[in-house]
Chains A and B, each alone.
Chain A
Amino acid sequence: MSRTTSPPRAQTPAAKTAVEPQPDGVQSGSAAGASPASSVDDVLARAQTGDHHAFAQLYALHKRRVYSLCLRMVNNVAEAEDLTQEAFLQLHRKIATFRGDSAFSTWLHRMAVNVVLMHLRKKGLQLTSLDEAMEPTHDDGPGRSFGAPDLSLTGSIDRLALERAIGDLPAGYRLIFVLHDIEGYEHNEIASMLDCSIGNSKSQLHKARLKLRDALRTASRKDGRK
């Protein structure tokens, strides 16, 4: 018989009390007094033993952040969905090997990053020669700030404008910006993941931010003219 589970809609009220999926995967407090952390640990432990319903709950808890990571790295909805699927398939294959050396979410997100990097390598992004792959042409390089006075950003940035500008970054810039500034990876971790130097990671992140600054200031000028 075919087994189907629908997270999170199929959750019983009791299950919802124990594990309440949040939009960003953050655990909620429990009105029933049970420790949410222990409830999530219980779900994880059950998923590790092959409990399909528990795995569905893990998906409900983490789908948004994993999908978001994939979407921001590839800037394509269909690819992001495929990569999210692959990440959770890998999770299903490997979940029994999770030993708790790091937080489960950290472990899962690293797995998702690796899935995306593998995908990008297959697509031909040369992660081993980032400078060459990501070096912008002279014409579209991120602007430095010499010469005439600049229009500075005002200290608050429109979220949608920033999302759009990130999506418009060249793939290599976007990759490092998402990993460092959004996902919080350190340069040494990024260098290890991408097989590049730490200096290269710092340099590309800086160029990505400069390019975003250009894009945001351009958007700001356009808005100002409206």
Chain B
Amino acid sequence: MTNKPGDMSCEEFQAQLADLIGSGEDISQHPHLMQCPRCRALLADLQTIAEAARQLLPAEPPEDDLWDRIESAIQSEEGSDSKP
């Protein structure tokens, strides 16, 4: 019995999905996806999540006093470096 990609079960397809997505190739025309709305929806969700992540802006900036701590640490390092 042949096991064509279109005959895959969802479980078999999803077991390969990490590699398929990770290949970077367009898998939208994969035979299983052409006939399986559930796996199409799954792929669309994963792509939506990845796209939303790419568009996340940086978080809030750190507290203002962080620079004071860094500056103090720099001065401390420079002070110890200059000691004979």
In the complex formed, the residue of A with least CB distance to B62 is A67
- Say what secondary structure dominates the interface of chain B: helix
Contact A24 B67 (CB under 8 A): no
Asked if B63 is an interface residue, CB under 8 A from chain A, the answer is: yes
Question: Counting CB contacts under 8 A, is A145 at the interface?
Answer: yes
Main secondary structure of the interface of A (DSSP, over half): helix
- With contacts A68-B59, A144-B11 taken as known, whether A209 is within 8 angstroms of B46 at the C-beta atoms is yes
Shortest CB distance A15–B (Å)? 16
Q: A59-B70, A85-B69 are in contact. Are A67 and B59 (CB under 8 A)?
A: yes
Residues of B within 8 A of A (CB): 10-11, 14, 17-19, 21-22, 38-39, 41-42, 44-46, 48-50, 52-54, 56-63, 66-71, 73-75, 77
Question: CB distance A155 to B48 under 8 Å?
Answer: yes
A181 touches B58 (CB 8 A): no
Q: Are B39 and A163 in contact (CB under 8 A)?
A: no
**Docked pose: A21 CA to B14 CA in angstroms:** 45
Is the Cβ of B14 less than 8 Å from the Cβ of A145? Answer: yes
Are B77 and A150 interface neighbours, CB within 8 A? no
CB distance from A219 to the nearest CB of B (A): 13
Given contact pairs A64-B60, A93-B77, enumerate 13 new A-B contacts (beta carbons under 8 Å). Answer: A3-B75, A23-B58, A23-B61, A25-B58, A81-B62, A85-B66, A145-B38, A150-B38, A152-B41, A152-B44, A206-B17, A212-B49, A213-B42
Of A33-41, A129-137, A197-205, the one with at least 4 CB within 8 A of chain B: A197-205
